[in-house]
């Protein structure tokens, strides 16, 4: 059985990490049996979570994992897509993962009010003494990365306008369709849900959270995905 290494679920959603949520959602879409075990960045191939143990091989990066799973188990999730649909999905995924992600990091790690609550969730993933020591170091590194990437060089209102524009684009692409690219779900829906759930369920208020709630089709889509793949009788963090 595939072993999925990631952080535990929180806030009523599969994971605090959009990338962990994306991967676990894909596993359920593809009906690939899996078992969840704690993730340790020190053991991960890319020093990040999630990663998987597939036939004894550790593979990191959510997208590379999905591609490896397609090669091993076949592509039951995306095989119906046309080249044009795949291209649209790819552009949406990259927008969220390489743009919106940093707005989420700003909200959680840079905003003082949000950080006060988020650090308690994050510290709970470590032994008490280790958490008190290592979490401030991780926060400093994350803020440095935000600056180096460029998002952290802007003021908060500008950062949130960037994130709002990303969500507007996704909502426009979604339109009145049940899934991002039509009547059938794809791996790109797993990616979108990873981000919408992470924004909507985050306990602290923020401009981007309010903006998502105001996008009726995207907010409804988020709830639809949650109920479809993580119903109350099948909670996150494991597979039947």
Residue at token pair 């963090």? 237
pLDDT band at 237 (very low <50, low <70, confident <90, very high): low
124 with 152, same domain: the answer is yes
Identify whether residues 69 and 92 lie together within a single domain: no
17 and 99 assigned to the same domain: no
Residue 239 belongs to a domain: no
Q: Is the same domain home to 158 and 47?
A: no
Q: Which tokens is 104 given?
A: 């989420």
Measured distance CA(3)–CA(44) in Å, rounded: 13
Quick: pLDDT tens for 40-99: 888 999 999 999 999 999 999 999 999 999 999 999 999 999 999 999 999 999 999 999
Q: What is the pLDDT of residues 144-174, one digit of tens each?
A: 999 999 999 999 999 999 999 999 999 999 9
**pLDDT interval class at 240 (50, 70, 90):** very low
Last residue of a domain, one of 49, 73, 97: 73
Shared domain check, 189 and 92: yes
First-to-last CA distance in the chain? 11
* 98 and 133 assigned to the same domain: yes
Q: Which residue has the tokens 């790690």?
A: 109
Could you tell me if residue 140 is inside a domain? yes
Three-state SS at 71 = helix
pLDDT digit string, tens, across residues 109-140? 999 999 998 998 988 888 878 888 899 999 99
Domain housing 182: 83-229
C-beta atoms surrounding 74 within 10 Å: 10
Residue 202 lies in a domain: yes
Residues 61, 102, single domain; the answer is: no
- Chosen domain end from 47, 73, 99: 73
Q: Are residues 69 and 108 in the same domain?
A: no
Number of folded domains in the chain?
A: 2
Q: Determine, yes or no, domain membership for 111.
A: yes
Residue 8's CATH number: 3.40.30.10
Check: CB of residue 18 under 8 Å from CB of residue 101.
Answer: yes
């Amino acid at each position: 059985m595939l072993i999925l290494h990631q952080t535990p679920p929180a806030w009523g959603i599969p994971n605090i990490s959009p990338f962990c949520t994306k991967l676990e959602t894909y596993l359920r879409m593809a009906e690939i049996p899996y078992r969840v075990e704690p993730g340790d960045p020190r053991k991960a191939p890319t020093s990040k979570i999630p990663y998987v143990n597939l036939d004894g091989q550790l593979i990191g990066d959510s997208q590379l994992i999905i591609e490896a799973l397609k090669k091993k188990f076949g592509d039951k999730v995306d095989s119906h897509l046309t080249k044009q649909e795949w291209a649209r999905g790819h552009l949406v995924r990259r927008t969220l993962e390489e743009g919106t992600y940093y707005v989420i990091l700003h909200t959680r790690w840079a905003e003082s009010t949000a950080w006060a609550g988020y650090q308690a969730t994050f510290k709970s993933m470590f032994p008490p003494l280790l958490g008190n020591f290592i979490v401030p170091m991780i926060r400093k590194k994350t803020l440095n990365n935000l600056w180096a990437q460029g998002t952290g060089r802007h003021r908060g209102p500008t950062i949130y306008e960037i994130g709002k524009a990303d969500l507007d684009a996704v909502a426009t692409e979604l339109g009145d369709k049940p899934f991002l690219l039509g009547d059938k779900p794809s791996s790109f829906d797993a990616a979108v849900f990873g981000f919408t759930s992470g924004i909507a369920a985050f306990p602290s208020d923020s401009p981007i959270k309010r903006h998502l709630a105001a996008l009726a089709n995207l907010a409804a889509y988020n709830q639809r995905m949650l109920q479809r793949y993580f119903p109350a009788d099948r909670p996150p963090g494991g597979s039947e």
